[in-house]
Amino acid sequence: MISMVEDTKTQESAAEDIELMYQVASGEEAAFVRLVEKHQNSVIGTVAKMLGSPTEAEDIAQQVFVRVWKSAKKYKPTAKFTTYLFTITRNLVFNETRRRKVRKQVSLEEQGEEWGSQYTDESSGSPSEEYLKEELIKAVDRAIAKLPKKQRMAVVLRRYEDMPYDEIAKVLGLSVSAVKSQLFRARGILKEELASYLDE
C-alpha cells in the first residue's frame, strides 16, 4: 500500500516537472524557480559527492540550471525530467573531472582540506560514537571519490538519489546490465577501501 502511494507521488512529481519545463520554455521564471527549489539539493549533493568538493558543488549546480533554462525550448519529455537533469549534471561533472586531470589541480592536501582532516589526535581517550560515525562518513566519501567517474556516478545516483537502474542507465548512456556491472565492481572496491572500518 505504501509503495503504491509512493509510486503515485513519484508519477505526480514527474508530471509536474514536465509541465514546469513547458512553462519555463514559455519564459515563466516562477516555473524555473520551482524546478530549482525541487531539485537543487539533489544536484548539489550529487556534484559534491562526485567532485569531492562541497565548495564547488553550488557553482557547478548553478551551471546545470543555467543549461536547463537555456535549453528549455528544445526539451522533449522522452524521459523523466530527472533523467534529463542528471544527464546535464553528468556532462558538467565529467568535464570538470577531465579539466582537473589535465591541469592536475587537485592535490591530496587540498582533498584533505575539503573533506576535513582525517588525521586526529587519538591519544585523547576513546572517541565518541558520534565521532566514529563522522569518520565513517568521511571515509565513505573519500572511497567514493577514488572510484572511476562512471562507477562513482552510478553509486551516487543509486545510493544517495535512490535512482532506479533504468534511469541511471539513461543518464550514463549505458545498458541496465552495464550499470549493474559498474555498481558490482564499485561495491567491491569500496569494500576493500573501507575494510578497516568494517572490521571495527
Name which of 99-103, 135-139, 175-179 the model is least confident about. Answer: 99-103
**80 and 48 assigned to the same domain:** yes
Cell 545516483 sits on residue: 157
> Is residue 168 included in any domain, yes or no?
yes
Give the pLDDT of residue 138: 84
Residues across the chain: 200
Torsion of CA 191, 193, 195, 200, to 10 degrees: -120
**102 and 155 assigned to the same domain:** no
Residue 38 is inside which H or E element, if any? helix 29-51
pLDDT (tens digit, 9 = 90+) per residue, 150-188?
999 999 999 999 999 999 999 999 999 999 999 999 999
**148 and 79 assigned to the same domain:** no
The last residue of a domain, from among 106, 132, 161:
106
Give the pLDDT of residue 120: 40
pLDDT (tens digit, 9 = 90+) per residue, 41-53?
999 999 999 988 7
> Whole domain around residue 179: which residue ranges?
124-200
158 phi and psi, to 5 degrees? -75, -50
The count of domains in the chain is 2
**2 and 41 assigned to the same domain:** yes
**80 and 146 assigned to the same domain:** no
Q: How far is CA 69 from CA 23, 149, 150, in A?
A: 11, 26, 26
**92 vs 66: CA distance, rounded Å:** 12
pTM above 0.85, yes or no: no
CATH (domain of 100): 1.10.1740.10
**134 and 191 assigned to the same domain:** yes
Give the pLDDT of residue 110: 53
**59 and 129 assigned to the same domain:** no
**40 vs 114: CA distance, rounded Å:** 21
**102 and 52 assigned to the same domain:** yes
> Is residue 194 included in any domain, yes or no?
yes
**95 and 3 assigned to the same domain:** yes
